């Protein structure tokens, strides 16, 4: 034994200690491990789970926040509902030759004289409901699609992502608005057509077919709503970002 110890070099002692340390380390990190007769698999650190959960929740909130839909629908319904008399005068001037060559104020007075003040509220129901849905989709879909398009486009092209989101939101809003707008026009141009949305829309679809509002009004509605949505939504985002950067520097 003494001779064997003398024959052992320091290098052999270092190698043995290294092997012992390696075996201890591998035993400590071995997964799965056996504990009390049951097989248990090592789990990720709790902090990592919390971070992943918070990231998913933040992405979900950014991509589908109902407040955008509620705020957009309420603002559009109120703003278009208040301006219903102006829409009535405009539609009457476009469809009635007797009102074509006079001023809007004179046309409004003549409508009140001939049909009564209530005539200026014709089409209020389709306007409020139609533009309420339109506004909810326009604002909600736009804000919900922005994170998706931002991830698809390259960095630094946020305006392109905003434009793509606005095109989709404006097109969807135009499709939904078509039947309501057609009903509003019929109620304004023909007072005997119906009393409001509840009887006017079913009558329109029964007489002319379900697809008739889209065949007539969809192309002009798309040409109106899509550029309008692009200009309004994207310009708001760009100007808001510019103002925030300026105010932060103050």
pLDDT profile of the chain (250 residues), mean per 10: 44 48 46 45 48 49 77 95 96 91 94 93 94 94 92 79 94 93 93 90 92 89 92 90 83
40, containing H or E segment: strand 38-40
DSSP state of 64: -
Q: Residue 58's pLDDT is what?
A: 53
Q: 245 to each of 154, 238, 239, 240, 241, how far by Cα in Å?
A: 22, 11, 10, 9, 6
3-state secondary structure of 65: coil
Q: What is the dihedral of CA 174, 175, 179, 180, to 10 degrees?
A: -40
């Amino acid at each position: 034994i003494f001779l064997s110890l003398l024959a052992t070099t320091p290098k052999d002692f270092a190698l043995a200690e290294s092997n012992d340390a390696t075996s201890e380390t591998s035993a400590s990190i071995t997964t799965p491990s056996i504990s009390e007769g049951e097989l248990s698999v090592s789990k990720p650190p709790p902090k990592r789970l919390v971070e992943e959960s918070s990231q998913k929740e933040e992405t979900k909130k950014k991509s589908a926040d109902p407040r955008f839909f509620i705020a957009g629908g309420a603002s559009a319904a109120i703003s278009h509902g208040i301006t219903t008399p102006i829409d009535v005068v405009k539609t009457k001037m476009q469809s009635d030759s007797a009102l074509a060559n006079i001023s809007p104020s004179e046309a409004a007075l003549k409508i009140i004289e001939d049909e009564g003040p209530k005539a200026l509220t014709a089409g209020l129901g389709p306007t409020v409901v139609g533009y309420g849905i339109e506004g909810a989709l326009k604002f909600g879909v736009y804000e919900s699609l922005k994170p998706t398009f931002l991830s698809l486009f390259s960095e630094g092209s946020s305006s392109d992502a905003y434009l793509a989101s606005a095109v989709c939101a404006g097109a969807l809003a135009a499709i939904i608005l078509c039947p309501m707008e057609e009903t509003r026009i019929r109620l304004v141009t023909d007072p005997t057509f119906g009393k409001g949305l509840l009887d006017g829309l079913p009558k329109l679809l029964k007489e002319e077919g379900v697809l008739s509002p889209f065949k007539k009004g969809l192309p002009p509605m798309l040409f109106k709503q899509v550029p309008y949505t692009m200009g309004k939504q994207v310009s708001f985002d760009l100007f808001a970002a510019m103002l925030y950067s300026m105010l932060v520097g103050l």
